[in-house]
Amino acid sequence: MFVDELFKQSAKTAITLLMFVGLPDASIDSFRTGSNFIRLCNTTERVAIYHLIDYKTFINIRYSQNNMMPVNRRSVIRKIGAIGTTLTFAGVATASSDRIRYIVRTNGNVNKEIQDLDYEVLSELAGGNILLIAGPEETTNALTEINGVSNVLHDFNVELEEPPLEQNADSSTERSVDQVYEQFLWDKQLQQVREAHAYATGSGRTVAVLDTGVDNTHPDLDVDIERSAVIIDGQPEPYDGPRGGDHATHVAGTVAGTGAAGMLGTAPDTTIVSVRILGPETGTWGDILAAMEYAAEIGADAANMSVGTYPIPPQRNAVQYRRLMESVANNVTRQGTLLVAAAGNNNTNLQQGGRFTLPNSLAGVISVSASTPSDHLSFYSNYGTNEIDIGAPGGGYETPEKTLTTDPEEVALPYPRNLIYSTLPVSDDGEARYGWKIGTSMAAPQVAGLVALVREIAPNANAKQVQNVIQQSAEGDSGYGDPEFGAGQTNALAAVEEMSDNGGT
């Protein structure tokens, strides 16, 4: 029983999980009785606020990809991993003033007219056809009347929350790279990463991590500080390291852990560029779009985006946002940078109901679902025919109960070893730290690292050619149409062998 497993965890973990279920005021005793728990688990509505009939008040459950939410498939309750974002479709002010930010689609020749209305052009994207601007809210009607302006949309906030399921590793015990690989890196073993290193290690390649900021002092990470940046009001500012966020640092280790202190990434000789788009609490989609373009400007082979939205329903009228973002994504991929995005942790069929998630649903973005140590879809992962391009290890099993099991007689990899092990920011006294996390956030960087391996073999291959090799070499038998894994599950060795067999072209 999942509830019983909760009480085997640390007090912090158990309380966190209970709160993310959406029952912060419920006592543990009443929760253990199961009636409200079962009703919550059986709920199939997917709206921002769930009505729990046994309660006389509504319980707010933010539709966030870091919260636990009801499901109707595979598991009794879903813990959302580290890809957490909550959207607010409302005016966002600039960092330095209260002027409201907008994302505008234009014909590329209207900057002067926009500035004449007292708007500042913060950033030009997609070859100047998409503008991030700031100005007074009361004159937006005048913006729409400018000849050459086709859309005026509010920029919107993205909030990052801590993942509900994570575990720090014991950093006091020194382990060799071989010991770490054999004991903890089941994800790399499944993808035959070490075997792939006989062909390529990512030497000379770059992966941009668009996230909370990477700790550049970690001994297992090679971070290019000169090219790293913080995106503020659509512009890259000098990176404000060294300390980065847990989420980004974990992602970076999965991509390109050097193994110098034990953690081996998919592409250990690849350089990481940290592009901070999310602070301790919030970021904006305008800055995410600017970060995508910045990754292309610096010549990154891949940009990893372990961020995303909840499944946006049709009634939110967000199609215009999607089309606008696709213009930016297409511009980035034309320059050779592959955009790799987590598919999301809502356990939602994205093929049904007209829902979509951003940025993974964008044309030109590789959408990555999460797989388990037993090659099944992880209990939290989104799925859907034509919505998933490929699957990669993201941690956990098919159910939360199985994921949290600590009995080695019940599962091959007891908790927390079935999660994804990687780097964390160094401690205050400079000690290298490591830990386990779960989510499609952990699956996407597996693919971003694989891009670097393939690009080392074929540095002149365009983005589509690299994506094709990765998908064609994936392990699967459903063509590209598998609802859970698209073309299949990543195999690093097969990908580099295929590119080598093709002569590096």
Phi, psi values for residue 379, rounded to 5°: -60, -25
Confidence (pLDDT) at 97: 65
- Please check the confidence at residue 472 and state whether its pLDDT lies above 50: yes
| Marked catalytic residue, from 327, 378, 441, 473 | 441
Within-domain flag for 190: yes
Six token digits for residue 481: 């149409």
Is 371 one of the catalytic residues?
A: no
- Site of tokens 């991993």: 81
Within-domain flag for 63: no
| Marked catalytic residue, from 155, 187, 211, 215 | 211
| Marked catalytic residue, from 247, 306, 327, 482 | 247
Rounded CA separation 190/262 (Å): 18
Residue pair 199/246 in contact (Cβ under 8 Å)? The answer is no
Confidence (pLDDT) at 162: 52
Confidence (pLDDT) at 63: 26
Residue pair 456/482 in contact (Cβ under 8 Å)? The answer is no
Q: How many domains does the chain have?
A: 2
Same domain? 124 vs 177: no
Is 407 one of the catalytic residues?
A: no
Within-domain flag for 77: no
282 forms beta bridges with 159
Within-domain flag for 193: yes
Confidence (pLDDT) at 314: 86
Selection from 76, 264, 62 nearest residue 178 by Cα: 264
Its pTM stands at 0.83
Mean pLDDT confidence for 290-298: 98
| Strand locations in 372-406 (E) | 390-393
Q: Which of 117, 135, 155 is the last residue of a domain?
A: 155
Within-domain flag for 121: yes
Within-domain flag for 139: yes
Rounded CA separation 443/486 (Å): 14
Mean residue pLDDT across the chain: 82
Write the pLDDT tens digit of every residue in 366-407: 999 999 999 999 999 999 999 999 999 999 999 999 999 999
Confidence (pLDDT) at 505: 64
| Strand locations in 86-170 (E) | 87-88, 92-93, 100-106, 120-125, 130-135, 149-154, 157-159, 166-168
Within-domain flag for 122: yes
Band (pLDDT 50/70/90 cuts) for residue 163 is: low
Same domain? 369 vs 492: yes
Rounded CA separation 444/16 (Å): 25
Rounded CA separation 317/449 (Å): 35
Residue pair 167/436 in contact (Cβ under 8 Å)? The answer is yes
Same domain? 174 vs 106: no
Q: How far is CA 305 from CA 284, 336, 495, in A?
A: 14, 16, 21
Six token digits for residue 62: 């933010």
Is 441 one of the catalytic residues?
A: yes
- Please check the confidence at residue 186 and state whether its pLDDT lies above 60: yes
Write the pLDDT tens digit of every residue in 55-111: 222 222 222 223 332 222 222 222 233 344 444 455 576 665 678 999 999 987 899
* Structural domain of 277: 166-476+484-501
Six token digits for residue 437: 């996390």
Rounded CA separation 317/326 (Å): 16
Same domain? 170 vs 151: no
